[in-house]
Amino acid sequence: MTKQEFATLVVAMQAMYGEDFIGTEEALDVWYALLHDLDYQILAKALQQYMLTNKFKPTVAELREIYAELVSPVITDWSEGWKKVSRAIGHYGMYQEKVAMESFDEITREVVKRLGFQNICLSENIVADRARFAEIYQAIQRRKRTEVNVGSALPNLREMVQNRLAELEQKGQKSIEQEKYNNLLSKHCLCSLTGDKMSDFSYRRNAQIYHSGRIP
């Protein structure tokens, strides 16, 4: 999503929640950093859905959660995955592991890889393996949902903060240089009034150096 596309969504949110919502350039940068990795069209649908069902201003987390629900495929229950494993064992047996693995969905395949297809086939405690399967399956589901929710927002936010700190540091340095320049000019004016020509020449010369950027 481009920043121009995001600005369109901000206009919509400000129309609904007031112009002070995301009303500063800094706030706009932070929101964009946390949402930029999302598809504009899908995020627009997520925002519309939020506006139709909530009275209060949205947060980044709420928008990403709705977005995740829109883009995530229907997540099957772990028990459906276990049924696939049981059927594959009965149909293919332990010696056709490759074909059996190809019959599984992505999450079921990952769980079976961790447990070992042949280990399940030869299990002497299928109840314990079933419980372990459910535990791993649900953990992978949570991880995949987090991946959609978080995306690449955090690295982008970190970069934005670092850039902002660098800008502030640069501005602070310029302020210090300007203050030094102003002090030298003030001393120059004071020497002109008192007739101290040698000091006046020195202060005026240093002021010219600071003004030109050739700081000693």
**pLDDT tens digits for range 29-64:** 889 988 988 889 989 999 999 999 998 999 999 998
User: Mean pLDDT over residues 115-138, rounded?
Assistant: 94
Query: Which pLDDT belongs to residue 198?
Result: 45
Q: Any alpha helices (H) in the chain, and if so which ranges?
A: 3-17, 25-35, 40-53, 60-71, 78-92, 97-102, 106-115, 117-121, 126-150, 153-194, 197-212
Beta carbons of 121 and 98 less than 8 angstroms apart: no
User: Mean pLDDT over residues 110-125, rounded?
Assistant: 94
Measured in whole angstroms, the distance separating CA 183 from the mean position of its chain's CA atoms is 45
Question: In the predicted model, is pLDDT for residue 216 greater than 90?
Answer: no
**pLDDT tens digits for range 100-110:** 999 998 899 99
Measured in whole angstroms, the distance separating CA 45 from the mean position of its chain's CA atoms is 19
Question: How far, in Å, CA of 66 to CA of 104, rounded?
Answer: 28
What is the rounded average pLDDT for all residues in the chain?
78
Q: Which one has a higher pLDDT value, 71 or 66?
A: 66
**pLDDT tens digits for range 68-109:** 878 765 556 899 999 999 999 999 998 999 999 999 988 999
Beta carbons of 10 and 47 less than 8 angstroms apart: no
**pLDDT tens digits for range 183-212:** 655 554 544 544 544 444 454 555 454 455
DSSP conformational letter for 1: -
Question: How far, in Å, CA of 63 to CA of 12, rounded?
Answer: 14
The residue extents of the domains of the chain are: 3-71, 78-149, 171-212
Query: Which pLDDT belongs to residue 23?
Result: 84
Beta carbons of 106 and 125 less than 8 angstroms apart: no
Percent of the residues in the chain that have a pLDDT greater than 70, as a whole number: 65
**pLDDT tens digits for range 157-177:** 455 556 656 666 676 666 565
Query: Which pLDDT belongs to residue 201?
Result: 46
Question: How far, in Å, CA of 29 to CA of 36, rounded?
Answer: 10
Beta carbons of 57 and 20 less than 8 angstroms apart: no
Question: How far, in Å, CA of 1 to CA of 39, rounded?
Answer: 6
Beta carbons of 86 and 120 less than 8 angstroms apart: no
